[in-house]
Structures are given as structure tokens and as C-alpha cells.
Amino acid sequence: MNWTDLWHLAWRGLVRRPVRTALTTLGITVAVASMVIFLSLGEGIRKVFTEQMRGVGPDIQVSLTGMSQGGFSLTPNVPQSLVGDIEKLAPELGIESVTPTMLTVRGGLDPSQGVFLYGVPAQAGIQALFPDAAASLGRDLRPQDVGQPVAVLGAKAAQNLHLGLGSTLNLNRRSSLKVVGILAPGAGLVDSSIFMPLDVQQRAEGVTGQVSMIAVKVRDVRRAQGIARTISERLNVEAQTQADLLGFLEKTMRISDAVRFGISLIALVVGGLAVANTVMMGVFERTREFGTLRAIGARPGFVRALVLSESLLLSLLGGIGGVLLGLLGIWGVNAYTQNLAGIDAAALTPRLTLLALSISLLLGLFSGLLPARNASRLSITEALGRV
């Protein structure tokens, strides 16, 4: 018998028990789909943050508490006077611009109301942080806005807060801003942000001369690592490049991926037990069939391969179904997050698809080992004599 006969017999063995095969396949499908959806969140978030970081103009971020010290703090604890110290190093280090920035997060019980509040020097404008940002309605910040209670909103922020040109945005009981511009839809972070003059936000938050970070743009990006190291050493601060932030993000996402995979593993183990049970029952019910195969010349290795093929087919069907069901789940997640924040929080990447199918096949392989071993060790006379 050749391999074509092997796969044909394996397929016939499965379709003869349609209900059991369908239920087992469904179990694997759900297990694989849960893994795909869980891990797709990591892939999507990784993709979003990578795109966002690359879209931010500054090559270096200066703060007092960087990623290497346990996470970037949004607390405005950086003295604004540090801007002058960095500017003194500009001629030596090739620094093009220095932009003090204040960043806070505004949220509520309704997640759709969450926005990022950026305070930037009105003279520099939003482009100092996001070069591609452009107003689709109204205007951008301009030098005349220093000290003026005005704001420019991202498209998603304007939509979620139900604000338009000329609307009043209440920051707190004491401070309100007039909306003078709405940005064109773009990257998720910009879409969910509100920009205002730095001094206006400092006054609203009750802090003077303090910022959250200082954004530094250099003439030669290839020197960014060295420049950041020099700033850190001379000014005793945390200066990090985009590569540093992306590296920290990647490490964080890997830990998160491991946690999500661990949760998915429970469902995968249950799916594997279902495959093993189905194949084992098939071996028990087809003892005479295996005895007949042995009697007409099939070797134990062929019988073992036949049972393993059935297990692999079950798992492959479940894996493909799991990827398709996971894709549907990802679509649902992204529909929600697009409406909430204008981002796709989940992504089915080629490597995730390959991982899902590979794990599914490994699941089938290991689940079929014991049933295949038992089937190949059946005695011909015992098998043919069993009713």
C-alpha cells in the first residue's frame, strides 16, 4: 500500500463517524481560535505602537524616569529649565530642535471618552511631535496662541467627545478651551489626542515650569544613540531613542504573549484530549479492520501511520477552522477598537497563522501517538477473532 491509500483510508475512517469527527474538530477549532484571538492582540498592539513610534517626530525623549527605570511617567516632573541645558549642547551634538511637552491622559467610565492631552509650545506647533499631522477643519496651533485657551483635536477625539469647530472643551471646573482645529484622520494616537499650548495646560493642571518630557530632534538620526547617551551622562537624566522605546515595548509584548499563550494552552490541552479520545475510540471500534489490513500484508508501521494520519487530519481541519474562526473574532475586536480609539488592536500575521497551524498539527501528532502504538501492536488472530 502507498501513501495515497494511507490518506484515503484515514479520510474514510473519519467520515464514517461524522458526528464524533465534527464535534472533535469543533473542539480543536475553538481551542485554536481562542489562541489566535489572544495572540492576535499582542500582534496588533505591537504593530500599532511600532507605527505610532515611527510616526513621532522626536528622535530622543528626555525624562527623569525612563523605560529602563520601570516605565515612563506621565507626571510632569521634568524641570522646563532643562530645555536650556539641552539647547546649550545643540551645536556640539547636532541637535535640531528641543520641544518641552506635557502629556496627561483623560479617561472615564466610558472608554470612548479617553483621550491624550498634549501641551506643546504654540510656536512649535503639533508638527514638532507629529510631522504628518494636518488640520482638515480650522487651523493648527500658531505662535499667537501662547497663553490662549484654544485646542486642536484629533478626528477620533472630536467624534467621541461630540465636539466641532467653535465648541467649548471643559478641562476642569476652572479651565475651558475653544476648539480651533480638527486634524485629518490618521494614526490612532493622533486621532485620540487633544493639543493645546503648553502654558495653557500647565496652568490648567496647576504646575508651573514642569513638563512630562522633552522631545529632541537631531540632524543625523544615525547618531541618536550616542547623542542620547551623552545627554544622559552630562545632565543626569533618562534620554532614550525610538529604538530603546521599541525594544522595551517588544520585551513587554513578549511577556504578554507568553501569558496569553499560557491561557490558550489550557484550551489546547482539552482539544488534544478530545483528539486522543476520538482516535482511541476509532481504534477500538475498528479492531477487525486493522486485523484484516494486517492479514492482507499491511505492516505494523502502516497501521501506525494510518492512525496518526487520522489524528493529523482531525487537527489540520480543526487548525484551519480555528484560524478562520479566529479571523472572525479579530474582525469583531477591531470593529470595537476602531469605533473606540481608531486603531486595530488585533492582527492575524503570517507568523501567527503558521504558529496556529503548526501547534494544531503537533497537537494531532502527540494525541495520536498512543492510539497508533496500540493499533500497530494488535495481534492478527486476536483482532480477527474479536467481535
pLDDT, one tens digit per residue, over 239-254 is 888 777 666 666 767 7
Question: Over 70: is that where the pLDDT of 113 sits?
Answer: no
Sign of CA dihedral 272, 274, 279, 281: positive
Q: What mean pLDDT comes out for the span 154-162? A: 88
User: Residues near 12 by Cβ (< 8 Å), separated by ≥ 6?
Assistant: none
User: What pLDDT does residue 69 have?
Assistant: 47
- Cell numbers 494525541 correspond to 367
Question: Over 80: is that where the pLDDT of 51 sits?
Answer: no
Q: What mean pLDDT comes out for the span 116-143? A: 89
For the chain, how far is it from start to end, CA to CA, in angstroms? 26
Task: Give whole-number Cα distances, 282 to 8, 279, 368, in Å.
Answer: 16, 5, 11
Percent of the chain with pLDDT over 70: 80
DSSP 311: H
Residue 263, all three cell numbers: 491561557
User: What pLDDT does residue 89 have?
Assistant: 92
Q: pTM for the complete prediction?
A: 0.62
DSSP bridge partners of 105: 116
| Measured distance CA(83)–CA(79) in Å, rounded | 8
**Mean pLDDT, the chain, whole residue set:** 80
Comparing 16 with 204, the larger pLDDT belongs to 204
User: What pLDDT does residue 105 have?
Assistant: 83
Contact indicator for 203, 127 with CB cutoff of 8 Å: no
Residue 251, all three cell numbers: 520585551
User: What pLDDT does residue 115 have?
Assistant: 83
User: What pLDDT does residue 377 have?
Assistant: 67
| pLDDT band at residue 109 under the 50/70/90 scheme | very low
What is the per-residue pLDDT across 324-379, written as a single tens digit (0 to 9) for each?
999 999 999 888 877 766 677 888 888 889 988 998 888 888 877 777 776 666 66
User: What pLDDT does residue 70 have?
Assistant: 43
User: What pLDDT does residue 282 have?
Assistant: 66
| pLDDT band at residue 183 under the 50/70/90 scheme | very high
